[in-house]
């Protein structure tokens, strides 16, 4: 059913892109030899290794880093992909590239970057924004609260320069608020350009 308020399960076949990204990130963390060929590395990007602008986002610096990224990305991403599958999948392709471009241009001192947090932030903002525009489940407080949480997280990082929850970073690794701002900006642009065609409503 596609009526507002219908209870529909998240079948793996409908949210395959979200699950594939999560599985790829876990695979890269498990096989550490994949880190160096995939991580965002400014010097190697300048040498033409452009794939790193996307693959760098599935690299993580530790299990806590990956866990917290997936805690956000998987549920929000599955929800978004279930409701707007085409939009979600294109967002998965384009948002990491846009974040990397922003880092390359506006963070020239940043030599290496890794993590799905920028994409996860974008997915949260996009899902909340689309639900506020087109949703009919009567839970505006939930989506407004999600946007407020993102704003608080980014504000904390801008003020302290430290991640809010990740605990296993080394001393030479810092949070990059621009990645999260970039994800949010991508979401806002996509949300403005989106239409409710093909969306279904899920009640939880």
Q: 16-193, what's its fold?
A: Rhomboid-like fold (1.20.1540)
pLDDT tens-digit series, residues 158-186: 988 776 665 555 556 778 999 999 999 99
Q: Residue 194: what pLDDT?
A: 81
Residue ranges covered by each domain of the chain: 16-193
- For residue 121, what are its two tokens? 């932030």
Three-state DSSP class for residue 40: strand
Average pLDDT over residues 136-142: 82
Q: Residue 169: what pLDDT?
A: 57
Could you count the other beta carbons within 10 Å of the beta carbon of residue 132?
A: 16
8 A C-beta contact, residue 25 and residue 69: yes
Q: Residue 2: what pLDDT?
A: 42
* Angle separating helix axes 117-134 and 140-160, nearest 10 degrees: 150
- Top pLDDT among 164 and 102 is at 102
């Amino acid at each position: 059913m596609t009526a507002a308020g219908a209870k529909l399960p998240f079948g793996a076949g409908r949210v395959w892109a979200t699950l594939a990204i999560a599985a790829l990130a876990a695979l890269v963390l498990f096989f550490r030899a994949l880190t160096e060929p995939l991580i965002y590395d400014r010097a190697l990007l300048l040498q033409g290794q452009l794939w790193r602008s996307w693959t760098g986002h599935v690299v993580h610096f530790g299990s806590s880093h990956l866990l917290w990224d997936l805690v956000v990305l998987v549920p929000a991403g599955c929800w978004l992909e279930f409701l707007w599958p085409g939009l979600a999948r294109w967002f998965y392709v384009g948002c990491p590239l846009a974040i990397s471009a922003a880092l390359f241009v506006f963070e020239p001192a940043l030599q290496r970057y890794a993590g799905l947090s920028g994409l996860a932030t974008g997915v949260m903002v996009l899902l909340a924004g689309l639900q506020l525009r087109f949703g009919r489940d009567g839970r505006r407080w939930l989506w407004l609260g999600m946007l407020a949480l993102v704003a608080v997280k980014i504000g904390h990082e801008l003020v302290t320069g430290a991640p809010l929850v990740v605990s296993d970073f080394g001393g030479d690794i810092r949070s990059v608020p621009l990645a999260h701002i970039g994800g949010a900006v991508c979401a806002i642009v996509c949300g403005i350009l989106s239409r409710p065609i093909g969306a279904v409503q899920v009640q939880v």
